[in-house]
């Protein structure tokens, strides 16, 4: 999957006119790109369309139209676009109650290193977390992490050939396995391996 270029983006005027339609398309697209790992952890898998939406929204909100500033946004978000050998996801720890969230984030230090994906019968691949900056401290983790699941060529081939996919978390304070992933999610993730 190629990173986004400036020419892939809609100018602000056009985006304003097409925003509602594009937003609906992105919401429908994202429906098959989410993996809930229990009640409080969700992986939101990114691709060109989800990243384009994020960039377009940033440009709209910040009223950015200068070429250098647009490129800065692309440089910030393009690392979230998978390259055909991996999946990239925003990992969110979701606790609606503030106090419950505070306690959980203290208990879940390092959880981002315990999230895994498995293709067929292969060994699980643990996520490479927060390559841009560290989001955990020794006494608390962040509610948001950016993960990359780097696959071997054999895993990519197996996934394309129809192997089942599974994902999970094996942190001592939070464990969950989803095996197999729903077919609609599996198919969406396999398209990222083109």
Q: Are residues 111 and 122 in the same domain?
A: yes
pLDDT in tens, 147-170: 999 999 999 999 999 999 999 999
Tokens coding 24: 């609906």
* Total residue count of the chain as it appears in this document: 194
Work out the mean pLDDT of the chain and round it to a whole number. 96
Range of the domain at 98: 32-45+82-194
Q: Are residues 177 and 144 in the same domain?
A: yes
> Residue 171 has what pLDDT?
98
How confident is the model over 118-141, as a mean pLDDT? 89
Q: Are residues 65 and 113 in the same domain?
A: no
Q: Are residues 63 and 137 in the same domain?
A: no
CATH of the domain at 92: 2.60.40
Domain count within the chain: 2
SS3 (DSSP) at 52: helix
Q: Provide the b/e sequence for 120-152 (b: ≥16 CB within 10 Å).
A: eeeebbbbebbeeeebbeeeebbbebbbbbebe
Distance (Å, whole) CA 138 – CA 150: 26
CA distances from 109 to 132, 156, 182 (A): 18, 30, 29
Return the sign of the alpha-carbon dihedral for residues 165, 168, 170, 175: negative
Residue with more model confidence, 132 or 194: 194
pLDDT in tens, 14-60: 999 999 999 999 999 999 999 999 999 999 999 999 999 999 999 99
> Residue 194 has what pLDDT?
87
pLDDT in tens, 77-122: 999 999 999 999 999 999 999 999 999 999 999 999 999 999 999 9
Q: Are residues 15 and 94 in the same domain?
A: no
């Amino acid at each position: 999957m190629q990173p986004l270029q400036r020419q892939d983006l809609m100018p602000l005027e056009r985006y304003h006119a097409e925003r509602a339609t594009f937003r609906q398309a992105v919401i429908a697209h994202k429906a098959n790109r989410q993996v809930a790992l229990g009640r409080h952890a969700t992986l939101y898998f990114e691709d060109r369309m989800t990243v384009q939406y994020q960039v377009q929204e940033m440009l709209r909100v910040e009223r950015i139209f200068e070429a250098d500033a647009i490129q800065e946004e692309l440089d910030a978000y393009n690392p979230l676009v998978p390259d055909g050998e991996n999946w990239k996801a925003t990992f969110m720890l979701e606790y609606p109650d503030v106090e419950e969230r505070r306690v959980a984030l203290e208990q879940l230090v390092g959880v981002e290193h315990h999230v895994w994906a498995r293709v067929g019968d292969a060994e699980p691949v643990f996520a490479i977390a927060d390559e841009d900056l560290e989001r955990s401290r020794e006494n608390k983790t962040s509610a948001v992490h950016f993960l990359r699941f780097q696959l071997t060529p054999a895993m990519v081939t197996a996934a394309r050939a129809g192997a089942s996919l599974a994902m999970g978390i094996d942190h001592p304070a939070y464990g969950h396995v989803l095996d197999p992933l729903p077919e609609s999610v599996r198919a969406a993730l396999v398209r990222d391996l083109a």
